[in-house]
Chain A
Amino acid sequence: MTTLNSKVPKGDNLSEKWSKYKEHINLVNPANKRNIDIIVVGTGLAGGSAAATLAELGYNVKAFCYQDSPRRAHSIAAQGGINAAKNYQGDGDSNYRLFYDTVKGGDYRSREANVHRLAEVSGNIIDQCVAQGVPFARDYGGLLDNRSFGGVLVSRTFYAKGQTGQQLLLGAYSAMNRQIARGKITMHNRHEMLDVVKVGGKARGIIARNLITGEIERHSAHAVVIASGGYGNVYFLSTNAMGSNATAAWKIHKKGAYFANPCYTQIHPTCIPRSGDYQSKLTLMSESLRNDGRIWVPKNIEDVKAIREGKLKPTQIAEENRDYYLERRYPAFGNLVPRDVASRAAKERCDAGYGVNATGEAVYLDFASAIQRYGKEQAKIHNINNPSESKILELGEAIVEAKYGNLFQMYEKIVAEDPYKTPMMIYPATHYTMGGVWVDYNLMTTVEGLYCIGEANFSDHGANRLGASALMQGLADGYFVLPYTIGDYLADDIRTGTISIDSKEFDDAEKEVKERLDFFINNEGTHSVDYYHKKLGKIMWEKCGMARNKKGLEEAIQEIQEVREDFWKNVKVPGSLNEFNQELEKAGRVADFLELGELFAKDALNREESCGGHFREEHVTEDGEAKRDDKNFAYVAAWEYTGKPSEAILHKEQLEFKDIELKTRSYK
């Protein structure tokens, strides 16, 4: 059995570990790099930046993505921004402060050394992206602009309008294009990795399906990097792209890579609520809205009823009959409490029956007082004495439009209500997965030569991710961390030569993949893949969602097993193998979600504490807040697969906090 060794360099001060590490690792001679192949699965920010950098260093890179182009990876959708400790604003930011905020924000469940390294390279990321032509926002002096995000006291978030993820991904994609043109990256678009191949205990290749022709292909390499993103779609409804999936991560888990903290998912508080059973995904409204919007539900349950029946409008409810519950419960932070706190508070109100839409799952995000405030301010600025009410509204709305116009427009398109005139409705939704494949300091999994980067791994965010940190981690891993750590490993492989794809190991893996696909096509079932995915999602949301308890989790495990059993008997997949078949793609992904879901519940059950995005109802303080248990649970739960999710074995990586004192998070 593998022992869990984080490989964090011993000895040196935290702030010197990474630089000393780099000075002492083995290097691969440039002439030898030409003889080494690396497979990168996924071309989002993590995989795209890794592929480009590894190719530039001289390795032969084979990159894979399921979309028709790397530019369409889910990273494209990130809105708000990317953090970096540049201290351009002179407000006291530093590597240490970014490190500190990230560890605290993650509720002390991330690995100190990794987070410190992340903070150290964050500044480089911005330099790199600017050099590539990423059009970050600028101020009038031509210098880079910053904004501030939840959970921190400095302005360190770089952004490109509300499309930061898009611009960063296009930057990484352009770096890839340069290498594709040079022949150093072979890009396999519309290919899905369906298994990893191990030879002599080391990752030496993958089995992939060409999604257009259906052909099953073998690809070999000296090392394999998984950058396949997060598994939020285990909930069916989430803010993730429709195709985001766990397959690559789950397949490597089954081949020996431990899966860490699967129950750590982030529920984002400001999403557009679900409107009906047909709904396919949830749309995020940027967190920045909470800077000006006030969150409330009616105080009286009769008012709630009248609203749901359409007899009353929210604007008709008098100020004294509104419950601004975040301001009431958290006077210091108010509407700006971190994501996990805001999400739970909304759920608490809705569970108590105060939800304001038809499904009872929505609260108001109200801009009326911001519009008034800005309107009056503008009237003064423009020397308008005794402005009329309509003038105030006009002036105020103009300011709100300048700040959030595109978001208001997006809301109106989806909901068909004017958020300038009536409060928005919002509800929490699954957004980001902090759990993922366990990796050591080198970003290697528990399988030799198999790496995992970006959202697919677990290491940097602990139990709760702060805004604008995922993009930072993806690019840090891909541009600046993996290219060093993988070289140290590959230095031993310079004489290995090309890895053959004609071996028993490849035969076996391919056979397994084919059998599974055959099963789907030939099974004469009765229910569609979505039918099962929705069932799983419902269990996950109700019993493994924002708040969980022992009884619910035990039920969830049971129910997921039942759905899975039914799936393998009665799923129906039309069409054939050797063609473009989107139902077949979905079937494989949902099959994996049905196993991961169970491990998720098992992990949540094991963690007898509340921390970050993970709230156990049994572990609360007297006033109903999350209660962490550092004595017993300051560890990473890394699960080893042994045949069934129910039989997974728990390994613990004890977390040490030497540079930061463990403290209770409080936002009162």
Chain B
Amino acid sequence: MNLTLKIWRQKGPQDKGQMVDYKVTDISEHMSFLEMMDVLNEQLVNSGDEPVAFDHDCREGICGMCSMYINGEAHGPDRGITTCQLHMRSFKDGDTIYIEPFRAAAFPVVKDLVVDRSSFDRIQHAGGYISVNTSGNTQDANSIPISKVDADEAMDAATCIGCGACVATCKNSSAMLFVGAKVSQYALLPQGQVEAADRVMNMVAQMDLEGFGNCTNTGACEVECPKGISLENIARMNREYMKATTKG
């Protein structure tokens, strides 16, 4: 395949940035999208240019690093996957592909396609944990029975990879799906219930502080989420939040 790539180049956070055209040739349909980017970068390095910076690590769809906007969609055209799981067979010879960073006020651009998602971490510092000592003096694991249904549902919420596609795709840049998933995991488990109210209040407060927008129920996040995190988690977070505010 031969392709035209239109890629966002931005030297640093202060730089204005612009779209730049590149051509790649002989792309195999078996390549992953990131391998196609490797081919481009090798080409750029060989011709003395700076390669395109993009985040990636596991290349297995689990670390949540590879953030890219491809043809106007977070992680590209296929559903339920990250960019590293996207393969070139999803494109046609002669295609023009637009590649941009995730855009949201709370995710400033670091360089080219790399954005800073540390706001997600700060939300977790605010309360994304159960206050238990790591001393090994905890009670036996089986003394906390958890129904299979709850455990499975908590697991579904916990599969969020923190990629930020939900934020990038939302017209309000809301982080409700991400935070909802976190809150839900803990809300569904018996551990850490004593601090449940503080947890949700603190995480939501930090989310607002970071400059994420509000949810207006458009549901775009759920559509783009590579891990199928459902809107129910947002509803659960809202219920937890209500519970917490009415309590105190």
Contacts and interface: CB of A to CB of B under 8 A. Distances in A.
B89 A212 contact: no
B125 A180 contact: yes
B49 A574 contact: yes
A241 B57 contact: yes
Interface of B: 11-12, 28, 30-32, 34-35, 38-39, 42, 44-46, 48-51, 53, 55-65, 81, 85, 87, 89, 110-111, 114, 116-118, 120-121, 124-136, 138-142, 144-148, 151-152, 154-155, 158-159, 161-162, 185-186, 189, 191-192
Interface of A: 49, 52-53, 56, 67-69, 71-72, 74, 76-77, 86, 88, 121, 124, 126-133, 135-144, 160-161, 163, 166-167, 170, 173-175, 177-178, 180-181, 187, 189, 212, 241-243, 275-276, 278-281, 283, 410, 413-414, 416, 479-480, 528, 530, 572, 574-575, 579-580, 582-583
Given A71-B162, A177-B125, A241-B58, A579 B45 contact: no
Contacts of B53: 580, 582
27 contacts: A56-B134, A76-B58, A77-B63, A86-B141, A127-B141, A128-B134, A130-B138, A131-B138, A131-B141, A133-B130, A133-B186, A136-B141, A138-B147, A138-B148, A138-B151, A139-B148, A166-B161, A177-B125, A177-B129, A187-B121, A241-B57, A241-B59, A276-B30, A479-B136, A530-B42, A574-B50, A575-B50
Contact of B45 (A163, A174, A414, A572): A572
A276 B213 CA distance: 44
B145 A141 contact: yes
A133 B131 CA distance: 10
B57 to A, nearest CB: 4
A528 B46 contact: yes
- Top 6 closest A-B pairs, CB basis? A142-B145, A174-B129, A130-B141, A131-B138, A135-B155, A138-B151
Nearest to A185: B125
A133 B191 contact: yes
Contact of A160 (B81, B145, B155, B186): B155
A56 B189 CA distance: 24
A410 B82 CA distance: 12
Nearest to A53: B134
A243 B38 contact: no
A410 B87 CA distance: 12
B62 A166 contact: yes
Nearest to B31: A278
Contacts of B34: 280
B111 A135 contact: no
Contact of A163 (B28, B62, B125): B62
Contacts of A278: 28, 31, 35, 38-39
Given A121-B136, A166-B62, A278-B39, A189 B162 contact: no
Nearest to B192: A133
Contact of B136 (A52, A138, A180, A480): A480
B82 to A, nearest CB: 11
A113 B105 CA distance: 53
Contact of A69 (B48, B58, B118): B118
A126 B148 CA distance: 17
B132 A132 contact: yes
Contacts of A177: 121, 124-125, 128-129
Given A68-B65, A124-B136, A128-B138, A276 B28 contact: yes
A276 B134 CA distance: 46
A579 B11 contact: yes
Nearest to A415: B30
Contacts of B56: 242
Nearest to B163: A72
A74 B58 contact: yes
A161 B156 CA distance: 10
Interface centre among A68, A71, A178 (most CB of B within 10 A): A68
A580 B111 contact: yes
Given A131-B139, A177-B129, 14 more contacts: A69-B120, A72-B63, A76-B63, A127-B141, A135-B158, A142-B145, A167-B155, A278-B28, A278-B31, A279-B35, A280-B34, A283-B60, A410-B61, A413-B87
Given A128-B134, A278-B39, A181 B126 contact: yes
A128 B136 contact: yes
Nearest to A73: B63
A69 B162 contact: yes
A68 B55 contact: yes
Given A68-B118, A174-B130, A136 B151 contact: yes
A275 B132 contact: no
Contacts of B146: 138, 142
Contacts of A49: 134
A574 B52 CA distance: 11
A130 B63 contact: no
A474 to B, nearest CB: 14
Given A72-B64, A572-B45, A144 B141 contact: yes
B45 A135 contact: no
A190 B212 CA distance: 23
Nearest to A163: B159
Contacts of A178: 129, 131
